[in-house]
Each structure stands twice: as C-alpha cells, then as structure tokens.
Amino acid sequence: MYSAPCPSRQALDRIADKWTALIVGCLSTGTKRYSELRAAIDGVSEKMLTQTLRSLERDGLIIRTVHSSGPLKVDYQLTSLGRTLSDPLAAIRAWAETHINEINDARERFDRSNMSG
C-alpha cells in the first residue's frame, strides 16, 4: 500500500476522499436522489458531487438507477460492497466529531508558536 504503483492505493484514495465519506454516510440510510444528496452535503459543488458519484459507481460502490417513466428521476444507492464501507466510515466521522476540539486546540498552539518564531 505504501508503494506508489500498488493497486490497493487506488482503493484507499477513493475511500479517503471527504466527499466519498459523506456520500456513503448519506446513502447508508437508504436510496437518495441527486437533489437529496446535494441538499444533505453542505459545501459540495454540483461538479464534485457528480464526479464523485460517477467514481463510486465505476468502483462498484453505488448503483445509479434512472427511472424513465414520467419526469426523469435518478436514484443512488449503495451496493453490497458499498455497504461494507458504512461502518468504517461512520467510525472515522465519529472520531472526527469526538476529537475536533483537540485538533483545533493543537492548531492554535502550533500557529501561535510559529508566529512568534
């Protein structure tokens, strides 16, 4: 994994992406439309959401379903492989929420010490 050409690194790059973590988290509660994902994930641009959804679909982590009856409707849902990511990514999100104050404190200490030197 630490070697640049290692194929596993591509998988790590995909799951370590912040948009992947947030999209998988949203889809872990069930099927969502594009507009629902966009509304739920504050700060994601249409371009990044579309790009990440396509990558997740290509990697076999989500399924994109187009419903052509009536107005065009597109749904996204996790595949069985994608569902295996739900718990590990939920643990990472929980860690971030638990430790954000410690991280912010460390950043402030670091910035103060580097401003005076």
pLDDT band at 117 (very low <50, low <70, confident <90, very high): low
CB-count burial class (<10 Å; 0-12, 13-18, 19+) for 76:
buried
Q: What is the mean pLDDT of residues 42-53?
A: 96
**Residues 85 and 12 sit within 8 Å (Cβ to Cβ):** no
**Residues 28 and 86 sit within 8 Å (Cβ to Cβ):** yes
* 3-state SS track over 40-76: HCCCCCHHHHHHHHHHHHHCCCEEEEEECCCCCEEEE
| The pLDDT of residue 81 is above 70 | yes
What three-state secondary structure class fits 111? helix
Q: Is the dihedral of CA 78, 83, 86, 88 positive or negative?
A: negative
Q: Round to whole Å and give the CA distance between 14 and 59.
A: 9
pLDDT band at 72 (very low <50, low <70, confident <90, very high): confident
**Residues 31 and 75 sit within 8 Å (Cβ to Cβ):** yes
Report the predicted TM-score, pTM, of the whole model to 2 decimal places: 0.85
